């Protein structure tokens, strides 16, 4: 394995970084009060960032998972929240490309390729978070398709997105009775809760998605009936890499800001960078960032190459990277002292944003359960 970047990969990273610094970073704090403008998301789509690892034959960029995490890391250096929102759309696009028939691809995937339409991923429910196989949203068969009843919680893009890729129960209890369906915004019986007030990720709307006798046609089924949980878990392998990459990008920006501050800030007759205790802190932060980046790229390489242990490496990388990324960002805030606590310096937002990366796409405690089961079997 060679994780040094090729010229093409450096170009991918640089393109995403430049877009982020020019188009996203100057407005990151502003969008916490108003949400990400859809025209900015369309600009990202025009650059190919909305269907990164969707097969080229379906109109996607056809990149590897390793290439794709470079984009999410680079975008997150401008704003982890925006990068993560785009990554969720990417996960949905890949699932539709991978499991959808030609009719589903024409109707749903085609307008998602350049983010003319936005898709949200709906798995978590009010009473089934970590235990996602216990979801209760029902899909009763009708003459024309399915009638949905239930709700989904903490949905990024709730009452903002155009499509909702939802896991619903079409069969008995457990994972084998779950199917994946697509629901369009405006469908009768589809409604939303209020936009949630959150600690971080404020630039992306989050709301409960509610189905009340919501009827959808049979053609909106993704893949085969009762196999949706398999699709959801395979989607999450990539999702865990993506959320780790976004955490890494945010942590890198925090570290960069802390190092610059230490070079400039005087204290007790010298600069902060001259204090050995603070030098040791920066050393530990650099080690954490670089170890995280290497681990993440190895996991992406395994997923690209179909390794039998790819899923467990995605889980390990997700936990390792998001834990260390949050610690690095929090340590960076501490190094800036009172200034780190101020919004103008940018680090407090990153700390708020990165906290949720330890929770979503499977909590880090669930990652530990998966890892332990794998290695103790």
User: Domains of the chain: which residue ranges?
Assistant: 7-112, 119-226, 229-376
Task: Return d(Cα 231, Cα 125) in angstroms, integer.
Answer: 17
Statement: residue 129 has pLDDT above 90? no
- What residue ranges in the chain does DSSP mark as E strands? 119-122, 138-141, 145-156, 163-169, 178-184, 190-192, 206-217, 221-222, 266-267, 270-271
Cβ atoms 318, 253 nearer than 8 A: no
pLDDT for 278 equals 98
pLDDT for 153 equals 98
Mean pLDDT across 213-223: 98
Mean pLDDT across 184-195: 98
Task: Return d(Cα 45, Cα 115) in angstroms, integer.
Answer: 5
Catalytic residues, by residue number, are 361
> Which residues, other chains included, contact 158 with Cβ-Cβ below 8 Å and sequence gap of 6+?
120, 192, 193, 195, 205, 206, 207, 208, 209
What letter does residue 5 receive in the DSSP assignment?
A: P
Task: Return d(Cα 335, Cα 273) in angstroms, integer.
Answer: 10
pLDDT for 94 equals 98
CATH 1.20.140.10 fits 229-376, yes or no: yes
Mean pLDDT across 237-260: 98
Q: pLDDT digits over 307-362, tens only? A: 999 999 999 999 999 999 999 999 999 999 999 999 999 999 999 999 999 999 99
pLDDT for 86 equals 98
Average model confidence (pLDDT) for the chain? 97
Task: Return d(Cα 213, Cα 211) in angstroms, integer.
Answer: 6
pLDDT for 262 equals 98
Structure tokens at 76: 């997150």
Statement: residue 3 has pLDDT above 90? no
Cβ atoms 155, 206 nearer than 8 A: yes
CATH of 7-112 among 3.30.230.10, 1.10.540.10, 3.40.50.970, 3.30.310.80 = 1.10.540.10
Percent of the chain with pLDDT over 90: 98
Cβ atoms 261, 335 nearer than 8 A: yes
Question: Confidence band (pLDDT; 50, 70, 90) for 130?
Answer: confident
Cβ atoms 116, 93 nearer than 8 A: no
What pTM, to 2 d.p., does this model score? Answer: 0.97
Report the chain's terminal Cα–Cα distance, integer Å.
27
Statement: residue 257 has pLDDT above 70? yes
The closest of 362, 246, 365, 249 to 311, measured between CA atoms, is: 362
pLDDT for 1 equals 64
Question: What stretch of H or E contains 331?
Answer: helix 310-335
**Backbone phi and psi for residue 116, each to the nearest 5 degrees, phi listed first:** -65, -30
State which fold the 119-226 domain adopts: Butyryl-CoA Dehydrogenase, subunit A; domain 2 (2.40.110)
Cβ atoms 321, 296 nearer than 8 A: yes
Structure tokens at 218: 């049979």
**Size of the chain, expressed as the number of residues it contains:** 377
Cβ atoms 231, 165 nearer than 8 A: no
């Amino acid at each position: 394995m060679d994780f040094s970047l090729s010229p093409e990969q450096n170009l991918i990273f640089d393109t995403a970084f430049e877009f982020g610094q020019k188009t996203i970073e100057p407005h990151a704090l502003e969008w916490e009060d108003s949400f990400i403008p859809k025209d900015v998301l369309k600009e990202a789509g025009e650059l190919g960032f909305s269907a990164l690892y969707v097969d080229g034959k379906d109109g996607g960029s056809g990149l590897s998972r390793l290439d794709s995490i470079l984009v999410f890391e680079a975008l997150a250096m401008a704003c982890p929240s925006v990068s993560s929102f785009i990554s969720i759309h990417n996960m949905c696009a890949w699932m539709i490309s991978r499991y959808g028939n030609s009719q589903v691809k024409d109707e749903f995937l085609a307008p998602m390729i350049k983010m003319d339409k936005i898709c949200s991923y709906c798995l978590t429910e009010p009473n089934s978070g970590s235990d996602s196989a216990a979801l209760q949203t029902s899909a009763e068969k009708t003459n024309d398709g399915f009638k949905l009843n239930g709700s989904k919680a903490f949905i990024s893009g709730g009452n903002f997105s155009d499509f909702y890729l939802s896991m619903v129960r079409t069969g008995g209890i457990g994972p084998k009775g779950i199917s994946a369906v697509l629901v369009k915004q405006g469908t009768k019986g589809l409604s939303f809760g209020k936009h949630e007030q959150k600690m971080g990720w404020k630039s992306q709307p989050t709301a409960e998605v509610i189905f009340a006798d919501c009827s959808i046609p049979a053609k909106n089924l993704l893949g085969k009936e009762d196999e949706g949980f398999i699709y959801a878990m395979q989607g999450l392998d990539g999702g865990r890499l993506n959320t780790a990459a976004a955490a890494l990008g945010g942590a890198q920006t925090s570290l960069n800001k802390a190092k610059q501050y230490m070079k400039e800030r005087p204290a007790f007759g010298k600069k902060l960078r001259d204090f050995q205790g603070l030098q040791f802190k920066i050393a530990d932060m650099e080690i954490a960032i670089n170890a995280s980046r290497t681990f993440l790229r190895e996991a992406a390489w395994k997923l690209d190459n179909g390794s039998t242990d790819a899923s467990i490496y995605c889980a390990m990388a997700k936990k390792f990277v998001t834990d260390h990324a949050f610690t690095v960002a929090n340590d960076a805030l501490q190094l800036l002292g009172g200034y780190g606590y101020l919004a103008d310096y940018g680090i407090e937002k990153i700390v708020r944003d990165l906290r949720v990366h330890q929770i979503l796409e499977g909590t880090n405690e669930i990652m530990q359960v998966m890892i332990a089961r794998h290695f103790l079997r």
